[in-house]
Amino acid sequence: MVMFALLPLLSAAFGWIYFIAWSLSFYPQSILNYGRRSTSGTTVDFPLINCLGFFAYFVSNAAFFYSPLIRAQYAARHKGLTPTVQFNDITFAVHGLILSLVTTSQYFFPRAWGFTPSFGNRPSRFILGIFFGCVAGATIIIFVVVGSPDRDTTINTPPGAWVWLDAVYAVSYVKLIVTLIKYTPQIVVNYRNRSTKGWSISQILLDFSGGILSIAQQSIDSYLQGDWSGITGNPVKFALGNVSMIYDLIFMTQHYILYPDGDHKGSETESLLGSQRLDEERRID
């Protein structure tokens, strides 16, 4: 009984810890780029598609958390249960969007950051196709829902009816699609360069830790509700942790096993120290 009573506290703790870990994971790459005064070794594909992903994640989470209509439609489909989205999910999405925009600007506007323009400043056709394809797909579903006479139904929804919950799911799946593919271009770049120089391993370690805690929190919440539809009803959040961790393991394998050349192992620390020394020199001058 004592353990059962502590589970809600443990869930809340895991939620904020993974929020902190995932939030911190957005900083190392932009700081590393600034310290090196370059984005070489990386591609804009990752932060660019992340902007779309976190915008979609914010919209869907905000709908699940704040909209009485969406929550009622969710409950009607899932045995009266409420979505497992929590406030820290929303704050995480907003923070991720802002930091992704900052990092993307380093590629599109290198001279404004004092960087030397380098390869990787232009998004690939693959990422652009995914970007506009996701926007088009979600837009089509929204128009379908707008044209449905049952869109505002909260109970006894007719089979095959389209409601606003379906539109929210469509937007949330944009984040899922982005997560499934966003790391692929950088993995290819690392493979071609036979190096992970320029790509921050710190963000990967933080992301991996956050993924484990995210899944743990959602599992606890579903256990407390006595129904695992907390996971099946919010597949995006569950998939985020699993898919990200698989990619994280690939990056860690590249960094520590496949391309363990010692010349770049200290590059992140050296770049940050170099940036600090440069700022100090500027103040002295």
C-alpha–C-alpha distance, residues 33 and 2, integer Å: 48
pLDDT digits over 150-162, tens only? 888 877 777 778 9
Q: What is the model's pTM?
A: 0.80
Choice between 251 and 158, residue whose per-residue pLDDT is larger: 251
pLDDT at 228: 66
Residue 275 confidence (pLDDT) above 50: no
Which range among 7-21, 177-191, 213-227 shows the weakest confidence by mean pLDDT? 213-227
Helix spans in 109-234 (H): 125-146, 164-181, 184-193, 201-225, 229-232
DSSP symbols for 32-88: HHHHHT--TT--THHHHHHHHHHHHHHHHHHHHHH-HHHHHHHHHHTTTPPP---HH
Choice between 85 and 51, residue whose per-residue pLDDT is larger: 51
pLDDT digits over 235-244, tens only? 665 666 678 8
**What would the mean pLDDT of 99-114 be, rounded to a whole number?**
95
Considering 45-59, 148-162, 211-225, the range whose residues carry the highest mean pLDDT is 45-59
pLDDT at 2: 58
Confidence of residue 284 (pLDDT cuts 50, 70, 90): very low
Domain count of the fold of the chain:
1
What's the chain's average pLDDT? 85
DSSP symbols for 147-170: T-TTTT--SSPPTT---HHHHHHH
pLDDT at 230: 56
Residue 267 confidence (pLDDT) above 60: no
C-alpha–C-alpha distance, residues 270 and 135, integer Å: 40
Helix axis angle for 2-24 and 201-225, nearest 10°, is: 150
Look up the domain containing 161 and give its range.
2-284
